[in-house]
Chains A and B, each alone.
Chain A
Amino acid sequence: MRQIIRRRELVSDELRYEGEAFEPGTHGVPTLSQWLITAAAQRGPAVLLRATDELEPLASQLAHLRWIVVEFAKPGDGRGFSQARLLRERYHYEGELRARGAFGRDLLFFLARCGFDAFDPNPGEDLEAALGAFDSFSVAYQGGSEGIVHVHERAAGL
C-alpha cells in the first residue's frame, strides 16, 4: 500500500492512477482531459493536472472535487507551483491539493507554501525523514500558508 504525506502525517493512499488496481474505498484519478469529457454526473472526485493544463475549465467545477493531483513530471519543472497558488488563491479550491512526482524533500517547504497539503514523491524518498523539511524555515518574506511569520506583518508594525 502506497504511503503519502498528508498534512504532515504518513497515510495510506486512497487514489489510484492509470494501470493500478482498484480496491474498495479507492478512487481513480483521470487526467483533466479525461475528466472533462466525462458526463458531469459521472465525474469522480479526483483529477490529475499536467503542467501544461489550463485551470479555467476546472474553475466552475472545483466544489465537486476532493482531490486535485498536480503532476511534477520532471525535476526542476516549477509550473505546478503556479497552478497550486492559483487554485488556492484565485479559485479558492479547498479540497486536497496533492503534489505527485519528481521532487524530493527539499522542495516540500516551497510546495506547502504554495498551497499543497499532500505529497506523493517518486519512490525512493524516505517519507518519515522528509517530514522535518516542512520546518526548514520558520519565517518567510512572502504571504502564504499559515504558521509562518512574514514580512508584511513586520512593516505593518504587527
Chain B
Amino acid sequence: MIAAPRRVRAAQELQEQAVYRYDQIDQTLVNERVAQFRDQTRRFLAGALTEDEYRPLRLRNGLYVQRFAPMLRVSIPYGLLSSTQLRMLGHIARRYDRDFGHFTTRQNIQYNWPRLEDVPDILAELASVEMHAIQTSGNSIRNITADHLAGVAPDEIADPRPYCEIIRQWATLHPEFSYLPRKFKIAITAAPADRAASEVHDIGVHLRRGAQGEIGFEILAGGGLGRTPIVGHRIREWLPQADLLAYLEAILRVYNRYGRRDNIHKARVKILMRALGVAEFTRQVEQEFLASADFAPQLSAAQVEHMRGFFRPPPYESLPDEPQPSSERAPNARADAAFCAWYRYNTRAHKVTGYRVVIVSLKKHGEPPGDASAAQMDGLAQLAEQHSFGMIRVTHDQNLVLADVSQRALPEVWRRLEQLGLATANIGTLTDMICCPGLDFCSLANAGSIDIAKQIHARFDDLDYLYEIGPLEIKMSGCMNACGHHHIGHIGILGVDKHGKEWYQITIGGSSAPPAALGEVIGPSVPKEAVADTIAKLIEVYLRERRDDAERFLDTVRRIGVEPFQERVYAADHSPA
C-alpha cells in the first residue's frame, strides 16, 4: 500500500485542474470497486474462484491474462487527463511495470507487465486520483471516446465533454447492461470533421443544434470494425437533449435482449442490425424508447448545466495571434526549419485567438507507436502545468495533446518536447501509424505489429519525403479483432497467420473521416519482410498518379481505384535495380 501523503497531495493538486471532479458519490463508487476487486482477486488466488469464474470479473476491471503477463487497461474517459493523473500513470509504469505504458485507440492506457497480485493496489492508487479500470474490457459498455479537440476546436458546435461525462456515469456499472452479448463502444463528436471515428462505433453520438439553438443529437448505430467491419447507420436524425440516456437505453435493451450470444464473432450490435435490417432495428429501438418513457432516465437541463460547470474554458489570456513561423526569416535556419515543420504538422488551430493546439507525437522512430515512458509522462505533466492549464488529452490515433498552448510559448514547448523525444514532426504523415501491441504482447494476435512499425519507420525515415507524400494514415492490427483500426486506414495492414508464419494483408482506401469508408484488399497477403516495400510501391503509384500536391493518397485511390496499385505490387518486378 502507498503512504497517505501522496494521496493527500494528489487530491490537493486535482482541486485546481479543469477536469471532471469526483464528488463523494464518484469517489465512494471507485473505492468500493477497488475493495470488491481486491476481494475477488483474493478469492481467486485462494482457489475459491475458478479461472472461469474470475475471468469475467477481472475483465470488467480491465485485466487480461496475456502472452507473458496480465495486461491492465486503465480507463481515460474521453481521453482527458489532468497532469496529476498523468503523473500517476507514470508512477504506475515505474513502480509496477517496466517503465512505460501504451496509449490505445480507445484513448486508454495499457500496462503490459503488472503482477496479478499488485493489481488491487494499482487500482487503489488510481482511485486516489479519480481514475479506474472499470469496463475497459469484457462484454460491457467500454470507455466513452470523443473528439480529442473537444472544447478547443474551431469547428465544433458545442463542447461534447459534459455529455461524455453524463454518458460515462450512466454506463458505469449499469446493472442492466453489464453482461451484454459483446463489447459495446460509444463515441461522441460535435464537429463535422468527426475526429472520433464515430461512424465505426456501436453508437455514434453527434451533437446538433436545433432551430432555437438548443442542443440535440443525431444517433448512429451498428458501426464497428473487427471481423465484420461495417459503417454505422443513422437511426435518429434529431434526439432532444433530455432523451439522450433514454434512447441509449432503448438501443442497449434491444441489443441485450436480441443480440446473438451463440457465436462470439456474430454478437456485436452491427450483426443484429444487419440481420434485422436498418429499418426494422430502428423500429424496434423506437418502440422500446416509447414504451419506456415513464421509467427511462430523463436528462434535466440542471444536470447538463451542473456537468457543464466542470468543463468551463480555462482562464485564457487575451493574446494576439502570432505570425506563423517561417524558416526564411530565421537567424538559425536549421533549428528553425525543424520548428517550422513541427509547427506545420504537429499543431492545430485553436478557437481562442493567440492559442494553438499541440499534438505530442508518440510515433518516434524506434519506439512502438503509442508508447510513453514514465519519464516522458512526468515531463509532459510538468509541461502541461506550465503551458496548457495542467491538462493533457489522448487521441484515438495514439498521440497526446496539449490543447491550450499560447502561440508565443510554442518555441519553448517545442524545445522541451524535443528533449523528451516527443516532437517528431510527423502527425498526419505515413509514420504517424496506429498500431496495436501485436504478437509481442497480445495473446490474440496472429502477427507482430511493432516490428512492422519499425520497418516502416526505417524505410521512411526522411521527413522531407514524408512531407512530399503528404497526409496519409496507416493503421495496423495484429489480428482481425482490429484494435489497430486497419479497415479505416488509408493504408491498412492486417497481420495473418499462414502456416505459423507472420503475413500481412494490405488494404487501401479506408477512412474514419466522413464519409467513413472501409479499405479494399489489394490482393494476397505479403510476407513480413516485404511490408515496407509494398507500402513503398503504393506510394510510388500515388506520387506518379496524383493530380497535384493537394490530392491526398486517399483521394487518388478514390479517383483511380485499386487496380493501378495492385498492378504495381503484384506485377513481376522488372524495374531496374
Which residue numbers of A lie inside 8 Å of B, CB to CB? 74-79, 81-83, 85-86, 89-90, 104, 106-107, 109-111, 113-114, 136-144, 149-152, 154-157
Contact between B256 and A79, CB atoms less than 8 A apart: yes
In the assembled complex, which residues on chain A have CB atoms less than 8 Å from the CB atom of B500? none
What distance in Å separates the Cβ of B41 from its nearest Cβ neighbour in chain A? 12
B-chain residues with CB within 8 Å of residue A78 when the two chains form the complex: 139, 176-180, 256
Closest A residue, CB atoms, query B174? A142
A82 touches B56 (CB 8 A): no
A78-B178, A141-B169 as given contacts; A90 in contact with B256, CB under 8 Å: no
Chain A hits for B32, CB < 8 A: 136-139
Q: Hey, which chain A residues are within 8 Å of B53, CB to CB?
A: 75, 104
Q: How far is the CA of A75 from the CA of B57 in the complex (A)?
A: 12
Which residues from B are CB-within-8-Å of A90? 291-292, 295
Chain B residue at minimum C-beta to C-beta distance from A88: B295
User: Which B residue's beta carbon lies closest to that of A112?
Assistant: B175
Chain B residues whose C-beta falls within 8 Å of the C-beta of A151 in the assembled complex: 25, 169
Contact with A along B291-304 (1 / 0, CB 8 A): 11001010010110
- Interchain residue pairs with CB less than 8 A apart (24): A76-B56, A78-B139, A79-B261, A81-B175, A82-B257, A85-B175, A90-B292, A104-B53, A106-B57, A110-B178, A136-B32, A137-B28, A137-B36, A138-B32, A139-B32, A140-B173, A141-B25, A141-B29, A141-B169, A141-B170, A151-B25, A152-B297, A155-B307, A157-B302
**Known: A79-B257, A142-B297. Contact between A155 and B302, CB under 8 A?**
yes
Contact of B179 among A76, A86, A142, A143 (CB under 8 A): A76
Interface residue? B23 (CB, 8 A): yes
| B144 to A: closest C-beta gap in Å | 13
A132, chain B: closest CB distance, angstroms:
9
Chain B residues in contact with chain A, CB under 8 A?
23, 25, 28-29, 32-33, 36, 40, 49, 52-53, 56-57, 139, 169-170, 172-180, 253, 256-257, 261, 291-292, 295, 297, 300, 302-303, 306-307
Which 6 pairs from chain A and chain B are nearest by CB? A78-B179, A113-B175, A155-B303, A89-B295, A110-B175, A141-B169
Indicate if the CB atoms of A75 and B56 lie closer than 8 Å: yes
B residues in contact with A157, CB < 8 Å: 302
Q: Contact: A143 with B173, CB < 8 Å?
A: no
**With known contacts A78-B256, A79-B257, A106-B40, A152–B179 Cβ distance under 8 A:** no
A-B contact count (CB 8 A): 102
Question: From residue A7, how far is it (CB to closest CB) to chain B in Å?
Answer: 17
Residues of chain B within 8 A (CB-CB) of A85 are 175-176
> 8 other contacts beyond A81-B178, A82-B256, with CB at 8 A cut-off?
A79-B257, A82-B253, A82-B257, A89-B292, A90-B295, A142-B174, A151-B169, A156-B303
The residue that A141 contacts in the complex, of B172, B291, B295, with Cβ under 8 A, is: B172
Residues of B within 8 A of A142 (CB): 170, 174-175, 297
Chain B's nearest CB lies how many Å from the CB of A77? Answer: 6
Tell me, rounded to whole Å, the shortest Cβ–Cβ distance linking B257 to chain A: 5
Known: A77-B179, A137-B32, A155-B306. A149 touches B25 (CB 8 A): yes
Q: Which residues of B contact A152 (CB under 8 A)?
A: 297, 303
- Give the CA-CA distance A83 to B23 in the complex, in Å: 32
Contact partner of A139 (CB less than 8 A), chosen from B29, B176, B297, B306, is: B29
**Contact partners of A140 in chain B: CB under 8 A:** 29, 173, 175
Give min CB distance, A95 to chain B, whole Å. 18
Measured CB to CB, the closest approach of chain B to A32, in angstroms, equals 15
Do the beta carbons of A75 and B52 come within 8 Å of each other? yes
Q: A150 vs B174: C-alpha distance in the bound complex, in angstroms? A: 12
Measured between C-beta atoms, what is the minimum distance from A114 to chain B in Å? 5
Q: Which one, A81, A107, A110, A143, contacts B256 given CB within 8 A?
A: A81
The distance in angstroms between the C-alpha atoms of A104 and B36, with both chains bound, is: 14
A152 to B306, CA, bound (A): 11
B40 proximity list for chain A (CB < 8 A): 106
With both beta carbons as reference points, the residue of chain A lying nearest to B302 in the complex is identified as A155
Q: B28, A144: Cβ atoms under 8 Å?
A: no
Return chain A residues, CB-CB under 8 Å to B300: 155-156
Give every chain A residue within 8 A of B176 (Cβ-Cβ): 78, 81-82, 85, 110, 114
